[in-house]
Structures are given as C-alpha cells and as structure tokens.
Amino acid sequence: MSLARRATGPGRVNLIGDHTDYNRGLALPIAIDLGTTVEFTPTGSSGITFFSTLHRQAITLPLGLPPDPELVGTLEPSWARLLAGVIATVRPEIGGVCRIVTTLPVGAGLSSSAALATALAKVFGATGSPMAVAKLCQQAENLSGVPVGIMDPLACAGGRAGSASLIDFSTLSVEYVPIPGSAEIVVVDSGEHRALRDTEYAARVAECEAAAETIGPLGLADESDLARLRDPLLLRRARHVVSECRRVRQVAEALVSGHLWAAGTYMTESHRSLAEDFGVSTPGLDSLVDHLRSIDGVYGARMTGAGFGGSVVALSRTDAIDVASLPAPAWRVTTTDGTAAYHDRG
C-alpha cells in the first residue's frame, strides 16, 4: 500500500478586491501561514473515512461520487458536502483514511473551505498548475452549494511567499506584487462566524449578474457605464465593483513603490464601499475597522472576504498593533507559498 500523503492548504487574506472575482475584475489576495493540513493514508478500501479535529464523528464517503449538486449539496452532516465535492471533481483512485487539522478559524472569512479543498485535492492526486487545481476546487465548492468564484482556491493554491497575487479574472492571469518588508499585516476575527450558503452571498451574485445584463461584466466596466443603470440597488452594487477594481490597481502600485499610507487609504475606502454600496459589512466589522484605524502606525483597515461577518485585515508598520490588547482574536500573518505553487525557473 502507498505511503501516507500530506499537504497543507494555506488560508487566504484578501488585501483588497472583494466580490470582484465572479465579475471578471481584479483582486489582490495573499496566502497566509494559518492553514489546514490533511494527511491521507491509502488503505485500498472503496471509500474514504475523514477525521477532523473540528468534528466529533468521522464521516465515510464512497469513491466514485458523481458531480451531482443535488446529491453533494444535500449531504448530512453539512461538512461532508465539500469533502464529497472534492472526491467528485478530483476522482481519487484509491480509498483510505484522511485526518484533518486546522489552525484557521472556520467561518472567519479566511477561506477555510478553500484551504481544505486545495489540501484534499493535492493528497488525492490532483496535478497541474495552481489554476488547474483551483478550478477543480471551485467546482467542488459549487457542487457543495456555494457559488464561489475562483479567487479563494487560486489564492490558496498559487500564493507566493513575500508577495500578493494580483489576479485579473477576465484573463485569469496572475502577477506577483512584492510586499515591502516594513509592512505588517494583522488579521482580526470579528467573532461573527458564518457559512456563505447561509448568507446573502448568492443574492449579491445575482444582483451583479442583473447589472451586467445592462452594462456588461462589471469588472470590465468603468464609471461612465454606471449612468446606464436605472435601478438604484443595482447601481450601488455595480459602483462597488467598478471602484474596487480601480482600488486594487492603486494598492498594487502603492505596494511596489513603498507608499504604505496610500495603500492603507485605498483599503479603508474599500471597506466603506463594501459597507455602503455592497451591503456586506456588519456593525461589528465596522467597529473593528474604526478601532484599528485609531491605532498609531496603522495605514488602513477593511473587512476581508465575502463579508456578513468574518475578519478584518489591517496594514501597518511593524509592531504598531499589540494583538494581545485587541478586543477580538488576532494574528500577525506572513505570506506563504500556496498548496500547488510553483515558481518559474530562469
């Protein structure tokens, strides 16, 4: 029998660019040193048994699950759905035992599901580029009932230590943007945990699709196109996406030039847009952002991820934030390579 295989899927913190991926826009995420580790021991059985430190009972799922959302998306307990989705897309050839351990807070907006999916895909034998692995994991999440874009699995699969990933979702190209060594990134968990399937995430996707029927893909539109939208709700949703893509470019340029105050200012503007135009922030997230911005040496802060709870990310100078004194769990995070990352050799 084959030896055990192990892989770690890093979490994802999006510095800027939320709700842009499914709109063919831009985003600037990083893979972080909090993550989910999966160890798969092949046994030759006809199924895979999963043990997780987050759940008391093990789950056994058969090999050969079909990529059927009506089957995968209704499995119980609910944490079996993503596991089944990965089995259905990656198609592992042999059964065995999977043990799952994570340092990511689940539901905190740090892509715990994408971290798990990319790690599972790796130990189940998925090969190819980070993009290829990310597409499999996106399909797995969609099968499980969550209509995510490709940003989270791509950030988790293809991140690069020392850099953020500037992703253009209209071309699926990735450019690595170095983060200055003088910058520090702190993530604060609001404590408002959620599963995306239980939020208005799908409604936001539908609203963006409705706006795109008038002005085309929102990530490719510009401010002048917004005047064609008559529905005030759709106008606000589209305005966020259009302005967010501009801010992504501005933050990337600011990081390259070392202008951290400028980068932080755009991050704070992003939070305001997510709260006011896109309606995905909460009073708790707003309060955390305000608190972080009041700390000397903090350049900017914003909610990160899909919203409706989750976490806040702050960009600051080194040691400006005393994480132990914050009103919620917090971590200084560093960038790391993704699960399927590879570097061009020249």
Residue in 118, 138, 178 with CA at minimum distance from that of residue 22: 138
- pTM value is 0.91
Tell me: the pLDDT tens digits for 218-277? 999 999 999 999 999 999 999 999 999 999 999 999 999 999 999 999 999 999 999 999
What's the pLDDT score for residue 201?
85
Residue in 248, 279, 289 with CA at minimum distance from that of residue 266: 248
**Degrees to nearest 5, angle at CA 118 with 113 and 121:** 120
The verdict on whether 225 is a catalytic residue reads no
- Is 195 in a helix, a strand, or coil? coil
Name the stretches of the chain with pLDDT < 50.
344-346
User: If 0-12 CB within 10 Å is exposed, 13-18 middle and 19+ buried, where does residue 1 land?
Assistant: exposed
Residue of 18, 33, 68, 152 with catalytic role: 152
Beta-carbon contacts of 331 under 8 Å, excluding residues fewer than 6 positions away, are: 34, 186, 187, 323
Options 3.30.470.20, 3.40.50.11540, 3.30.230.10, 1.10.150.120; CATH for 5-177 is 3.30.230.10
What's the pLDDT score for residue 196?
63
Residue in 195, 194, 198, 227 with CA at minimum distance from that of residue 211: 227
CATH number of the domain located at residue range(s) 183-333 in this protein: 3.30.70.890
- Is 60 in a helix, a strand, or coil? strand
What's the pLDDT score for residue 345?
34
Domain residue ranges in the chain:
5-177, 183-333
What's the pLDDT score for residue 344?
46
